[in-house]
Structure 1
Amino acid sequence: MTIGCLIKDLREARGWSQGRLASELNRAFDTNLTREYISRWERSKVAPGPFYLRCLSAVLDVPLAVLEGEVKRRKFLGDAAAGAIAPVVASDLLLTGFAARLRGGPGPDDWEEKLAAYGTEYMSLGAGDIRRRVSGELVVVQQQLDDPRLWSVASRLMTLYAKTFPGSDGSQAVTWYRMAARAADESGDDRARVWVRGRAAIALGYEGASLGVADVLADQAMAISDKPSLGLLNAIMGKAHAAAIRGDRATALSLMEEGLRVFDATGSGEQTSDYAVPWWRMNVFMSLLLARLGEEKRAVEAQEAAHRELPESLPRFATHLEMHRGLMLARAGDRTGGTAYARSALERLPPEKHSLTLRMLMDEIGGDGSP
């Protein structure tokens, strides 16, 4: 199978035109590709070089080894179709689901172990790799929902799936966040009900996407329980980011202070899990919030505090902090310099580590002041 045929099959599996693929590459990596050039790749008139292979790997959520021909490409296509669950439901997903129903599937404790592992892996792995695996897990747990405890598992898996869902602006993830909230309600577990809503709120607020939904989910989380928890902390900080983007400075700062009080009661010492908010991660939240508000001195303090404790194994978060500095430059009036600074930071991060959140942040920095 040629690289051209593989690019075409992967593009069509996402329902993209050649022009759409060119646009996604141009937006993510500041290239200048055209539909005609994509066509030349697919017809094997020209082969993409190492740089474009890395770009394609990131945009199409494909391991670089596949594009370089180091694994069997035809086998990978079946796996990729299963991971995307679009446009055709892959047969191996159906088989997995029925097999899980017949044999009962993992027990609640097994699922909790899986969730803990995904929480750790989310921090360092690419979104595409995790999403493909989580899609299969969702098919399995879907067959086990006679047990209310597994509605809680399903809700957290849906939240992770939403966070890694592809799209140009994050709006496609909203359906999954809402479904996760309904699944958590089915569990009767208030901790899960607060956590999935809070995680969705901070994801949307941080990205600057679907702010109305972020507010609604945050408000719901805060109404379910005012007991300090990481879910409540995420909800408060998500609502703070939404307020900052709307220009409501007083509300944003007030919510940040409330978030710090909740953090003092619930902050986690765990350094590498999506289910934790250690001090360095709280500072990442505050760094962007303060940069959006033009609070340069406090933003720099938050960035420096985060850098001091940020594990070296998490370069994606270091890139976030550098891009926050780019946003500060842009908000201070140097949009060209800020955009260049942020783009340089993003380009230093391997493409397979890029995320929708980083791409949306790049758009915010280089745009008109709003994401």
Structure 2
Amino acid sequence: MTTAVGSLIEELRRGLGMSQDQLAARLNKLGNCTTMTRQLISRWENGYQGRKPGPRWLPHLATALEVPLHALESADVIRRSFLTSVAATAIAPAATADLLSHGFAAALHGGPSADDWQGRLYVYGQDYMSSGAEEIQRRLAADMVVLQQQIEGSRMWEVAARLSVLFAKTFPGSDAARTTTWYGMAAAAADRSDDRGTRVWVRGRAAIALGYEGASLAVAERLADQALAIDSRPSLGRLNAIMGKAHAAALRGDRRAALQLNDEGWRVFERVASPANAQSDYAVPEWRMNVFSSLLLARLGEEKRAEYAQEQARALLPPTLPRFATHLELHRGLMLAQAGDRRGGVAYARAALNALPADKQSLTLRLLLAEVEAA
């Protein structure tokens, strides 16, 4: 039976475009030996006879797969992980001094209160909808350097979990080593909060992000399944998890499951829908639910249903959120390409993305364009 560590090794290896032979060669070089083989990598990934990497190989695996060691050793998150991972995976060395200065200054003055952090969560939830990935990443990195010194109690772990999800979103889903590490830390931080709603939302948000982007589908499905198992009550977290599984099913070619999950998602949405004027990453109003369905149906070739979802989304979409209007245009480009007009679909999608100011573009949009180009 595949182990959690084995699944993670395989997912990270594939995300880096590395074969089992290549990983074995890299590990031999790191360990200055010749004992590692493709067969042993395969046994680790498949959990053959309970095989898993021992203490000798874990540090080398962490280096080879470009993740912190604790991500392979356990799902536990310690405060130091936030500072270490921010500095190691996101921030250029030239900015490290500014980050540390920001963190030490906050420590000397006591740092923001729990209520202050909740307020910052609210602001980030709104800003995510319209700001570019680079701006959000820079601001989050600075705040998380401060936050890692203050994580005590359930409310602060909730803040850490939700900010970690947003931080993961600032990396492309195809960058599996970074995104899966941060989503894993977000889930572990949510577990520390002891709040079921947070635990479900964090996993569901990660699942829909990865499923929508068409990246790390095994991780998306695993996080979605965890969310659904934690709490069966209708919630936005559960809705996100269902739609994440739906997109993963569509991309795996399971049309029937994708459509069933889409219908289930709408049933949950009818019970937990956010207000129409809600503009936050923590909300799913009707226009956003239609955006989720629009891409899913476009991927499945359900043109009439996809067009209807796009019409409903456009009618309700606030004009202050042009990035999501661009999402809908890329969905249409995908439909054109899949229908046989690949050149026209790609041109349509590129024009739509180019019409959006560069500082408003997201990594998700670029992944969607790549999907249209590959249709």
Q: Which TM class, normalised by the smaller chain length? A: 0.7 to 0.9
Q: Do 2:173 and 2:210's aligned partners in 1 also have CA atoms closer than 8 Å?
A: no
The 5-angstrom pairing of residues 197-208 of structure 1 reads 197-208=203-214
Within the alignment, does 1:194 sit opposite 2:200 as a pair? yes
Q: Do 1:125 and 1:353's aligned partners in 2 also have CA atoms closer than 8 Å?
A: yes
Within the alignment, does 1:109 sit opposite 2:106 as a pair? no
Summarize deviations over 1:265-287 as a string: whole Å, max 9, x none: 10101431111000000000000
TM-score by length of 2: 0.74
- 2:334 maps to which residue? 327
Within the alignment, does 1:288 sit opposite 2:295 as a pair? yes
The separation in 2 between residues aligned to 1:174 and 1:116, in whole angstroms, is 24
SS in 2 for 1:165: coil
- 1:148 maps to which residue? 154
User: Which of the residues 227, 231, 242 maps onto 1:225?
Assistant: 231
- 1:349 maps to which residue? 356
- 2:76 maps to which residue? none
Q: What 5-or-longer segments of structure 2 have no aligned partner? A: 1-86
Task: Give the C-alpha shift of residue 166 in structure 1.
Answer: 5.2
The 5-angstrom pairing of residues 8-23 of structure 1 reads none
Task: Give the C-alpha shift of residue 176 in structure 1.
Answer: 0.5
SS in 2 for 1:90: helix
Summarize deviations over 1:198-218 as a string: whole Å, max 9, x none: 110000000000000000000
Task: Give the C-alpha shift of residue 86 in structure 1.
Answer: 3.0
SS in 2 for 1:172: helix
Summarize deviations over 1:3-36 as a string: whole Å, max 9, x none: xxxxxxxxxxxxxxxxxxxxxxxxxxxxxxxxxx
Task: Give the C-alpha shift of residue 332 in structure 1.
Answer: 1.0
Q: Do 1:104 and 1:144's aligned partners in 2 also have CA atoms closer than 8 Å?
A: no
Amino acid at match of 2:198: A
The separation in 1 between residues aligned to 2:363 and 2:199, in whole angstroms, is 25
Task: Give the C-alpha shift of residue 169 in structure 1.
Answer: 4.4
Amino acid at match of 2:314: H
Task: Give the C-alpha shift of residue 89 in structure 1.
Answer: 6.2
- 1:93 maps to which residue? 99
SS in 2 for 1:198: helix
Task: Give the C-alpha shift of residue 147 in structure 1.
Answer: 2.3
Structure 1 stretch 101-110 or stretch 115-124: which is displaced more? 101-110
The 5-angstrom pairing of residues 49-198 of structure 1 reads 84-87=90-93, 90-165=96-171, 169=175, 171-198=177-204
Structure 1 stretch 297-306 or stretch 337-346: which is displaced more? 337-346
The separation in 2 between residues aligned to 1:140 and 1:83, in whole angstroms, is 17
Within the alignment, does 1:302 sit opposite 2:332 as a pair? no
- 2:261 maps to which residue? 255
Identity %: 65
Amino acid at match of 1:342: A
Q: Do 1:170 and 1:356's aligned partners in 2 also have CA atoms closer than 8 Å?
A: no
Summarize deviations over 1:304-334 as a string: whole Å, max 9, x none: 0000010111111001001101101111111
Summarize deviations over 1:231-290 as a string: whole Å, max 9, x none: 111111011000001110110011111111110110101431111000000000000000
Q: CA RMSD in A?
A: 1.8
SS in 2 for 1:128: helix
Q: Structure 1 residues 82, 220: CA separation in 2 closer, same or farther (over 3 Å shift)?
A: closer
- 1:268 maps to which residue? 274
Q: Structure 1 residues 274, 136: CA separation in 2 closer, same or farther (over 3 Å shift)?
A: same
The separation in 2 between residues aligned to 1:242 and 1:106, in whole angstroms, is 39
The separation in 1 between residues aligned to 2:352 and 2:94, in whole angstroms, is 37
Summarize deviations over 1:65-96 as a string: whole Å, max 9, x none: xxxxxxxxxxxxxxxx9994234661222222
Task: Give the C-alpha shift of residue 172 in structure 1.
Answer: 2.3
Task: Give the C-alpha shift of residue 146 in structure 1.
Answer: 2.1
* Number of aligned positions between the proteins: 288
- 1:7 maps to which residue? none
- 1:236 maps to which residue? 242
Q: Do 1:236 and 1:258's aligned partners in 2 also have CA atoms closer than 8 Å?
A: yes
The 5-angstrom pairing of residues 22-37 of structure 1 reads none
The separation in 2 between residues aligned to 1:237 and 1:316, in whole angstroms, is 20
The separation in 1 between residues aligned to 2:252 and 2:353, in whole angstroms, is 26
SS in 2 for 1:333: coil
Q: Do 2:346 and 2:372's aligned partners in 1 also have CA atoms closer than 8 Å?
A: yes
- 1:311 maps to which residue? 318
Amino acid at match of 2:340: G
TM-score by length of 1: 0.75
